[in-house]
Structure 1
Amino acid sequence: MVVVVAETIGNVTVPLGGPYKVVLLPLVWALLIGLAWSAAAARLPKAVAVQEDEQHLAAAVLQPALLLFIAKLGLLVGGSLPKILASGWALVFQEFGHFFGTMVFGLPIALLLGIKREAIGATFSVGREPSLAIIGEKYGMASPEGRGVLAEYLTGTVFGAVFIALFAGFVTSLGIFNPLALAMGAGVGSGSLMAAASGAIAAQQPPEVAKDVAAFAAASNLITTTIGTYFTLFLSLPFTVWAYGVLEPILGRFAKVDTTGASPVSTRGHAATTFSLPALVLVWVVAGTIALFGNAVTYKTPVSLDVIVGLALILVPVAVGHVVYVVTKGIVPAVVWVSVVAMAMTYPAMPFAADISAYTAKINFVALATPLLAFAGLSIAKDLPAFRALGWRIVIVSLMANAGTFLGATLIAQVFMHKPV
């Protein structure tokens, strides 16, 4: 129901004066509607309220449903691999923007606002699950650093997709960046944030460029996902700790706010939920079927036999990637296996690659993202009490870190991409 309403609203362009604008996609409406519905649980009749157990279920369903979106992007990457490889050093070095942009943009603001060691946890990364694990093991979640990374995690969950969609859309409207550089900036290592950012960028491009935006965002996100944990552990975190030691005596004196007495916040619900194979298949089929509605309404591709075949082909790398993930005992994340299988299916040298690309092209990648943001929105309300306990200052810092990872990678990619698309 959330997706139906969101797709019916459709794309809404908000002018900001002159050529500047923000395009609000159905995925943004889906997140906001889901959030409003789940947050109103106490005021609604029980029969229609999204109870806390259902909110946890929505959060758990988000990860397997995300694999469909990853598969679709992998299929786009496979066909665009020659073009992606031709981008050369841009795709390699822009990752430094992802991993250091959070600190460069977020840490000074945190110190000026008077935040102390919470700033380390909030700005050394975009604060997804691997970051929670790193800080939890090194400092403990009850520490200032633990409160900081949890603030980043919750801010990304509650506001991240909406914020990054608005921010990426505005930066795109400036017209100063190559769309492919913006696409690389969108690959921040979070599926939902990448979906929101790349969708906002693609919405302002012609169809052929929009396809390349999705492919480059997926390639960047894959790199960020695979090396992200090691990069943040061995480079980003030590560098942020060092930068804090240098900058805090200089910037911290401008605002003295005590954050050391904040209460620790429970991380219940952040652990992964394990589904049986039949349950996973049900999630994949339901999420894919829901996406076909948005594909028909917003992207004008009615459900037909060809579209159903396209969805079935998207499910192939999802299923194969999951099986490989289970067989290899989770040594490598499932998203990596799904991406690799999907890329292989449409790599130009592979048999039937053109046919697979033609069928799967009938399903827009943004349509597959809308159910993800609906699940995310329905899951958010359970985190709102903990979110409010963390204070507005660290929320601003977390949003600056999200902006920094996008803009930092975009700036570096732009340096290596001098030719316009």
Structure 2
Amino acid sequence: MQAAATSVSATRQGQQTWKLYIYAAIILVIAEWIGSATLKLGPGKIVLLPMVWALIMGAALGLFSRRLPGGMALTQPMQFQAAAILQPALLLFVAKLGLMVGNSLPKLVESGWALVFQEFGHFVGTILIGLPLALLLGIKREAIGATFSVGREPSLAIIGERYGMDSPEGRGVLAEYITGTLFGAIFIAVFAGFIASLNIFHPYSLAMGAGVGSGSMMAAAAGAIAALQPADVAKDVATFAAASNLITTTIGTYFTLFISLPLAVWGYRVLEPIIGRTNSASTPPDDGLHKETHLETAELNLAGRISAWVFAGVLTMIANWIAYKVTPLASLGCIALMVAVVFVGDQLRNLTGKKVPAVCWVTLVAMFLTSPACPWAAAIVELTAKVNFLAVITPMLTFAGLSIAKDIPAFRKLGWRIVVVSFAANAGTFIGATLIAEFFHR
């Protein structure tokens, strides 16, 4: 009887997984077909990429699933399953990022001490400003995920692997990601332009502060700073900002994992009893947000993880085909390499007793393959260039959207507070890095 029940449960879970994959494919195709939209807002603009449409459509499907026929509903157990798929799928983006920057490692060595040490400011600044504010506003453990970094894709992967995306920390980093995606570029452009207009810091220091780890936010901040400089200095601003952003997206993964995340956890333990508040934003552990099911987002087994990697790769090929006109056959080699890198990184994590997260192993393996140390680096760089990194993000945000409805009660409680905290964390990372860069520059 027990074996039969287990078989039925496995069959039902397999059906739910395939239904999720079908929903994800439909949402991704629609999102990529809609494409990008640009909205002018004051001195800057907001660019809504396909990843935003995918996130919104996935969330809407979960919110309105009760109005759909039973067979079409995105049930809460399925939303937890989407969160479970999201965690290993995010490693595919980490692999792509590592493959992109491996051949730029010599540039990092030549960048100088200012570019290296400003990285401390990027990640410590978010905590020093964002964490106390979050606690004063009544945000609890979500504050850790929302303030240990600016909450881009590697941060989602780190929190997902450490805590799970259905945890308070997972809700915090996802809320920070959504806020940053929708409003981050316009906020940092206005803020960086205002700070630059004060003429307190050297333009190069401001440029280094602009490399927050997000391409769109870096471009927005660097553009605002460069607009206030002479033409020759403006060109250097773009160069320093790009170099800083490169360091943040490579070395930054290790900073967030081994320095800023432990610091955020320690800061929460120390400060929460002192300045923490309890209000409508606070989510006690027994709030019953998931009372409809006791299913938790457990780590998928190896077969489940391989399935997630392969299907995320298939979705990436579809997104790359629609948005960048690269046929699936042309991008298949890059996708296969990315899946192989993730598999090797996953196995290395297991061989080391899971003491070093898969995020680190995947980054190291990917960076080596395109670094000067690899004899096939040139061919691999040419191969991986066939897949645009934005095409890798859309599938991730599709699964994030499909999993988000279960956490809407928590997001509703956080409300405007998480937006304020996100802006404070973004301001903190810019100011922190600028201060340190200014010190070494002078």
TM-score, with length taken from structure 1: 0.74
Provide the residue aligned with 1:185 in structure 2. 212
1:214 Cα deviation after fit? 7.1
Q: Confirm or deny that 1:407 pairs with 2:424.
A: no
Alpha-carbon distance between aligned partners in 1 of 2:256 and 2:282, rounded to the nearest angstrom:
34
Question: Please, which runs of 5 or more residues in structure 2 have no aligned partner?
Answer: 1-25, 197-202, 224-237
Q: Given the superposition, is the C-alpha separation of residues 370 and 14 from structure 1 closer, same or farther in structure 2, using an over 3 Å criterion?
A: same
Provide the residue aligned with 2:228 in structure 1. none
Q: Given the superposition, is the C-alpha separation of residues 378 and 259 from structure 1 closer, same or farther in structure 2, using an over 3 Å criterion?
A: closer
Return the match for 2:263 from 216, 219, 231: 231
The answer to whether the Cα contact below 8 Å between 1:65 and 1:372 also exists between their aligned partners in 2 is yes
Q: Confirm or deny that 1:162 pairs with 2:178.
A: yes
Q: Confirm or deny that 1:284 pairs with 2:309.
A: yes
Provide the residue aligned with 1:77 in structure 2. 101
Three-state SS of the structure 2 residue aligned to 1:298 is helix
Counterpart mapping for 1:182-221 below 5 A? 184-186=211-213, 197-198=214-215, 201=218, 215-219=246-250, 220-221=252-253
Provide the residue aligned with 2:229 in structure 1. none
Alpha-carbon distance between aligned partners in 1 of 2:255 and 2:87, rounded to the nearest angstrom:
18
Provide the residue aligned with 1:146 in structure 2. none
Provide the residue aligned with 2:17 in structure 1. none
1:24 Cα deviation after fit? 1.1
Provide the residue aligned with 2:338 in structure 1. 314
Q: Confirm or deny that 1:92 pairs with 2:117.
A: yes
Alpha-carbon distance between aligned partners in 1 of 2:182 and 2:381, rounded to the nearest angstrom:
30
1:328 Cα deviation after fit? 1.2
Provide the residue aligned with 1:295 in structure 2. 320
Counterpart mapping for 1:4-403 below 5 A? 4-18=29-43, 20-87=44-111, 88-105=113-130, 107-108=132-133, 111=136, 115=138, 125=148, 150=168, 153-157=170-174, 159-171=175-187, 173=189, 181=208, 184-186=211-213, 197-198=214-215, 201=218, 215-219=246-250, 220-234=252-266, 236-237=267-268, 240=271, 264=285, 265-266=287-288, 272-305=297-330, 307-388=331-412, 390=413, 392=415, 394-403=417-426
Worse-matched range after superposition: 39-48 or 338-347: 39-48
1:94 Cα deviation after fit? 2.6
The answer to whether the Cα contact below 8 Å between 1:80 and 1:212 also exists between their aligned partners in 2 is no
1:16 Cα deviation after fit? 1.1
Could you report, residue by residue, the CA deviation over 1:139-184 in whole angstroms, capped at 9, with x for unpaired residues?
A: xxxxxxxxxx93x643443x33231123332256556687974674
TM-score, with length taken from structure 2: 0.71
The answer to whether the Cα contact below 8 Å between 1:102 and 1:403 also exists between their aligned partners in 2 is no
Residues paired across the two proteins, number: 376
Q: Which amino acid aligns with 1:169?
A: A
Q: Given the superposition, is the C-alpha separation of residues 358 and 124 from structure 1 closer, same or farther in structure 2, using an over 3 Å criterion?
A: closer
Alpha-carbon distance between aligned partners in 2 of 1:340 and 1:49, rounded to the nearest angstrom:
40
Q: Given the superposition, is the C-alpha separation of residues 302 and 36 from structure 1 closer, same or farther in structure 2, using an over 3 Å criterion?
A: same
1:300 Cα deviation after fit? 3.0
Worse-matched range after superposition: 373-382 or 98-107: 98-107
Q: Given the superposition, is the C-alpha separation of residues 32 and 416 from structure 1 closer, same or farther in structure 2, using an over 3 Å criterion?
A: farther
Worse-matched range after superposition: 332-341 or 288-297: 288-297
The answer to whether the Cα contact below 8 Å between 2:87 and 2:161 also exists between their aligned partners in 1 is no
Worse-matched range after superposition: 400-409 or 377-386: 400-409
Alpha-carbon distance between aligned partners in 1 of 2:326 and 2:300, rounded to the nearest angstrom:
32
The answer to whether the Cα contact below 8 Å between 1:110 and 1:119 also exists between their aligned partners in 2 is no
Question: Please, which runs of 5 or more residues in structure 1 have no aligned partner?
Answer: 136-148, 187-196
Aligned-residue sequence identity (percent) comes to 31
CA RMSD of aligned residues (A): 4.0
Three-state SS of the structure 1 residue aligned to 2:353 is coil
The answer to whether the Cα contact below 8 Å between 1:38 and 1:380 also exists between their aligned partners in 2 is yes
Q: Given the superposition, is the C-alpha separation of residues 218 and 173 from structure 1 closer, same or farther in structure 2, using an over 3 Å criterion?
A: same
Q: Which amino acid aligns with 1:185?
A: V
Q: Given the superposition, is the C-alpha separation of residues 411 and 298 from structure 1 closer, same or farther in structure 2, using an over 3 Å criterion?
A: farther
Three-state SS of the structure 2 residue aligned to 1:185 is coil
The answer to whether the Cα contact below 8 Å between 1:160 and 1:402 also exists between their aligned partners in 2 is no
Alpha-carbon distance between aligned partners in 1 of 2:318 and 2:106, rounded to the nearest angstrom:
32
